[in-house]
Amino acid sequence: MSRLTLLCAGRAGTCMGTMAFAGALPVLRNAWHMDAATAGSIQTAFNLANAVALLVAAWLCDSFGARRVYLVSTWAGAVALGFFAMFARSPHTALISIVLVGLTQGGSYAPALILASELSPPSRRGSAIGMMLAAGSLGYLLSLFFALWGTQTFGVAAGFGVCALGVVMGASAGHICLTGASPSEREQTARPRARPESLSWRGMFTPVALCLLVGYVAHCWELLGHYAWTPSLLAHAVAPLKLSAPWAALLIGAVIHLSGMVSTAVIGVVSDRWGRSKVLIWVAAAGALCSVLMGYATQWGPAWTIFIAMMGSFFILGDSGVLSAAMTDEVSPCHIGRVMGVRSVVGFGAGALAPTAFGAVYDVTHEWTLPYATLAIGGICACVAAILLNQLIVRSRLPIRPFESGNA
């Protein structure tokens, strides 16, 4: 097993806490007597804490190395999720506990992407980052399944406790993978320290990087709103089928995250061959269309809802790896941690508001159409940013090329 494959397996485990609250939301709304706005606010608190952790962790990668930051974050994530399982018993206690989970879970995201880019050659960077994101999607699927099935069958503590155990296993796999490296391999997975004189915002954010930043912010708005509320949409849609708790949880998890897992792997490979900007245009446009259709899907029956949600997950998550690969292509290695940190806090900070906005619109309309239209705005903006990106590349007559350290 290659080091990248083992790290991806560990990443799947560490992501088992990310979707725990969203997965258990259909149960928790009734058990804790929450309206949609309150539920969305708790998810927003998680996303904001996640954004802060993303910024700090990515920034620290330039000074301490992605390997060290990744390991500290994953072990802290296991402790925080265990704390949530023991003490979250109401919206108020969940709000406090979810912030701790977000602060730790978010810390492993940027280091994982940086490690994936360093453990692969530039020509396969899109597929490597796609593999890492696919592993995350597998963890989200497991998180969604165990959280929903566990809380329905055994109670809140047991459902989140199983997810915490998965994070422990993932952290252990990452620890074995990264601490077992030879000295030369450890040097390859350590980010070079940036020279103080080289740190300028103009140097870090070129016009191409700014287009990618805007596209990522819009992508986060659509994705985080989708992750927070589509489990509830599917639970509502499949209720007439009268599925048992395990089968309903497995179906919902597979629809949302299995298709997303496939998409990041497939679209990452496609972007290596056909170019990042062209792929971003079509994937963002397809994601926006699917968001609109999901708002109408419940009117067409369970089968159509499942199919459209699956297609939505495929395209809404599909551009994530491409955006990250393009950013690592464009930005100097001595800046990448800071750029990824700024990108993450801006993207996840804006996206954190999507679940609350969705819930507020739902409380007013009591139907799914307009709330999902608010998410489609993100896909439209991401498509426009990709079009501008493509124009910049065409005008310069140069593709986005992997950054060569000799040009620093």
pLDDT of amino acid 226? 92
Are 161 and 84 in contact, with CB atoms under 8 Å apart? Answer: no
CATH number at residue 355: 1.20.1250.20
pLDDT at residue 196 in the model: 41
**pLDDT recorded at residue 180:** 57
Task: State the pLDDT confidence band at 369, using cuts at 50, 70 and 90.
Answer: very high
User: What is the Cα–Cα distance from 12 to 396, expressed in whole angstroms?
Assistant: 39
DSSP annotation of 264: H
For residue 241, give every residue at least 6 positions away whose Cβ sits within 8 Å of its Cβ, in sequence order, or none: 302
List own/partner pairs for 149-158 with CB under 8 A and 24 or more apart: 149/245, 149/246, 149/249, 149/250, 150/24, 151/24, 151/27, 151/28, 151/31, 152/27, 152/245, 152/249, 153/245, 153/246, 156/24, 156/27, 156/28, 156/31, 156/85, 156/88, 156/89, 157/85, 157/86, 158/85
State the average pLDDT over residues 276-298.
92
Domain count, the chain: 1
Tell me: pLDDT of 117 over 80: no
| Res. 45: pLDDT tops 50 | yes
What pLDDT, on a 0 to 100 scale, did the predictor assign at position 39? 82
Average pLDDT over residues 48-62: 80
* pLDDT (mean) for 72-82: 90
Residue 175 buriedness (CB in 10 A; 0-12 / 13-18 / 19+)? middle
| pLDDT confidence band for 143 (50 / 70 / 90) | confident
- DSSP3 helix / strand / coil % (the chain, rounded to 5): 85, 0, 15
The band of 404, judged by pLDDT with boundaries at 50, 70 and 90, is very low
What local confidence, expressed as pLDDT, does residue 1 receive?
52
- CA-based nearest residue to 286, from 261, 311, 260: 311
Q: Residue 217: what residue type?
A: V
Tokens found for residue 16:
């088992």
Q: Rounded to whole angstroms, what are the CA distances from 264 to 26, 178, 221, 258, 393? A: 27, 24, 18, 10, 23
* H helix runs in 123-253, sequence order: 125-153, 156-179, 183-188, 201-204, 207-238, 245-253
Distance CA 110, CA 116 (A): 10
Where is average pLDDT lowest: 122-131, 206-215, 262-271, 310-319?
122-131
Residue percentage of the chain with pLDDT more than 90:
19
**How many DSSP H helices and E strands does the chain contain?**
18, 0
Higher per-residue confidence, 145 vs 293: 293
Q: CA–CA distance from 82 to each of 17, 49, 100, 105, 163 (Å)?
A: 10, 17, 11, 12, 9
Mean pLDDT score, 269-278: 80
User: Would you state the pLDDT for residue 361?
Assistant: 93
pLDDT of residue 290: 95
Q: Quickly count: other Cβ atoms within 10 Å of residue 333's Cβ.
A: 18
Positive/negative CA dihedral, 287, 226, 49, 73: negative
Q: What are phi and psi of 401, to 5 degrees?
A: -110, 145
* pLDDT mean over 347-376: 89
Better-predicted residue by pLDDT, 182 or 362: 362
Which candidate, 61, 19, 58, 72, places its Cα nearest to that of 232? Answer: 19
pLDDT of 407 > 70? The answer is no
Q: Give one word for 88, left, alpha or beta, with left for phi > 0 and alpha for psi -120 to 50.
A: beta
Sign of the CA dihedral running 260, 261, 266, 268: positive
Give the span between the Cα atoms of 379 and 392, in whole angstroms.
Answer: 20
Q: State the CB neighbour count (10 A cutoff) for residue 207.
A: 12
On the question of pLDDT at 130 being above 80, the answer is no
For residue 356 the two structure tokens come to: 């609350």
> Mean pLDDT over all residues of the chain?
81
Mean pLDDT of 5-30: 82
Nearest to 157 by CA among 46, 59, 301, 27: 27
Q: Give the range of the structural domain holding residue 128, as residue numbers without chain letter.
A: 3-407
